Amino acid sequence: MRSARMLQVLIAGAVLVAAALTPPPSAGADPGPDGGSTAVAKARVAADELMGSYEPVKAWFPSSWWNSAVALQTIGDYMERTGDRRYLPQLDNTFEKDKGVFPAGYLSGDPLLGNFTSRAIDDSEWWGLTWIQAYDLTKNRKYLDMAVTIAEYVEGYWDPSSCGGGVWWNGERTYKNAVTNGLWIRLTAELHNRLPRDKHWLGRAQEGWSWFTASGMINSAGLVNDGLTSDCKSNGDTVWTYNQGLAIGAGLELWRATRDPKLLTTVRRLADAAMAPTGLAPGGILTEYCDAPDRTCDDNGKQFKGIFQRYWMDLADTTHNHRYADFVTRQAATIWDNDRDASDRLGERWSGLTNADHPNAYDWRTQASALSALIAAVPSPPPVRSLSATTDPALPVIMPATGSTTHVKVRVGLQATGPAGERLPVAVRSSGPAGWTITPARSNVTLRPRGSAVPVQASVELDVTIPAGTPDGRYSVTATATSGSRLSFSTRSDIVIAHTADFDTGTAAETPWLWDADGSQSNGVQNRFADGHSYFIYRFPFPSDATTASATLTIDNEFVVQASGDGQTWTTVATETQPFHDGENKAARTFDLTPYLGPGKAGYVRVADSFPDDGWGGRVYHVTSTYN
Tens of pLDDT, residues 371-380: 999 999 999 9
Residues ≥6 apart with Cβ < 8 Å to 573: 561, 562, 563, 591
- Identify the sign of the CA torsion 50, 52, 57, 61: negative
Q: Which string of DSSP letters, residue by residue, matches 511-555? A: GGGEEE-TT-B--STT-EE--TT--EEEEEE--TT---EEEEEEE
Q: Tell me which H or E stretch contains 480.
A: strand 473-483
Burial state string for 469-497 with b = 16 or more CB within 10 A and e = fewer than 16: ebeeeebebbbbbbbeeebbbebbbbbbb
Give me the chain's average pLDDT, please: 94
Alpha helices per DSSP H over 538-601? none
Q: What are the φ/ψ torsions at residue 107 (nearest 5 degrees)?
A: -125, -5
Distance between CA atoms of residues 525 and 7, nearest Å: 31
Q: How confident is the model at residue 400 (pLDDT cuts 50, 70, 90)?
A: very high
Cα dist from 145 to 191, 302, 577, 578, whole Å: 10, 30, 48, 47
Distance between CA atoms of residues 222 and 271, nearest Å: 8
Burial label for 208, CB within 10 Å (0-12, 13-18, 19+), is: buried
The 3-state secondary structure of 277-311, one letter per residue: CCCCCHHHCCCCHHHCCCCCCCCCHHHHHHHHHHH
The total number of residues shown for the chain amounts to 628
- pLDDT (average), residues 140-167: 98
| Tens of pLDDT, residues 66-124 | 999 999 999 999 999 999 999 999 999 999 999 999 999 899 889 999 999 999 999 99
Distance between CA atoms of residues 495 and 464, nearest Å: 10
| Residue 84 near residue 118, CB atoms below 8 Å | no
Beta strands across the sheet bearing 406-418: 386-392, 406-418, 451-466, 437-439
Residues ≥6 apart with Cβ < 8 Å to 47: 75, 78, 84, 87, 371
Please calculate the CA angle 605-608-613 and round it to the nearest 5 degrees: 175
What is the reported pLDDT for 30? 58
| Residue 155 near residue 204, CB atoms below 8 Å | yes
Q: What are the φ/ψ torsions at residue 602 (nearest 5 degrees)?
A: -90, 145
What is the reported pLDDT for 613? 87
pLDDT of residue 351 exceeding 60: yes
| Tens of pLDDT, residues 455-508 | 999 999 999 999 999 999 999 999 999 999 999 999 999 999 999 999 999 999
Taken in order of first residue, the domains within the chain and their CATH numbers are 1-101+281-382 (no CATH), 386-497 (2.60.40.2310), 501-627 (2.60.120.260)
CA–chain centroid gap for 71, Å, is 6
| Residue 242 near residue 308, CB atoms below 8 Å | yes
Q: Tell me which H or E stretch contains 85.
A: none
Selection from 289, 295, 336, 293 nearest residue 308 by Cα: 289
Q: Which of 16-20, 118-122, 286-290, 295-299 has the lowest average pLDDT? A: 16-20
pLDDT of residue 361 exceeding 90: yes
- pLDDT (average), residues 624-628: 96
Distance between CA atoms of residues 619 and 621, nearest Å: 7
pLDDT of residue 20 exceeding 70: no
Burial state string for 12-27 with b = 16 or more CB within 10 A and e = fewer than 16: bbeeebebeeeebeeb
The angle that helices 261-275 and 322-338 make with each other, rounded to 10 degrees, is 40
What is the reported pLDDT for 63? 81
- pLDDT (average), residues 386-394: 98
What is the reported pLDDT for 409? 97
- pLDDT (average), residues 31-37: 80
What is the reported pLDDT for 105? 87
Pairing relationship of beta strands 571-575 and 386-392 according to DSSP bridges? unpaired
pLDDT of residue 13 exceeding 50: no
What is the reported pLDDT for 25? 36
Residue 24 DSSP code: P
Q: How confident is the model at residue 34 (pLDDT cuts 50, 70, 90)?
A: confident
- pLDDT (average), residues 167-196: 98
Residue 211 DSSP code: H
End-to-end CA distance of the chain: 28
pLDDT of residue 32 exceeding 80: no
Distance between CA atoms of residues 79 and 232, nearest Å: 41
Q: Tell me which H or E stretch contains 347.
A: none
Q: Tell me which H or E stretch contains 25.
A: none
Query: Which parts of 484-520 are beta strand (E)?
Result: 487-497, 501-504, 514-516
pTM over 0.85: yes
The single-letter code of the amino acid at 256 is R
Alpha helices per DSSP H over 301-442? 304-319, 322-338, 364-376
Distance between CA atoms of residues 546 and 113, nearest Å: 56
What is the reported pLDDT for 524? 85
Hey, is 144 helix, strand or coil?
Answer: helix
Between 378 and 600, name the one with better pLDDT.
378
What is the C-alpha radius of gyration for the chain, rounded to an integer number of angstroms?
25
Region of 150 (left: φ > 0; alpha: ψ -120 to 50; beta: rest) is alpha
- CB atoms near residue 173 (< 10 Å): 13
Q: What are the φ/ψ torsions at residue 557 (nearest 5 degrees)?
A: 60, -150
What is the largest distance, in Å, between two alpha-carbon atoms of the chain? 79
Pairing relationship of beta strands 501-504 and 619-627 according to DSSP bridges? antiparallel
Q: Which of 16-30, 393-407, 422-436 has the lowest average pLDDT? A: 16-30
What is the reported pLDDT for 29? 56
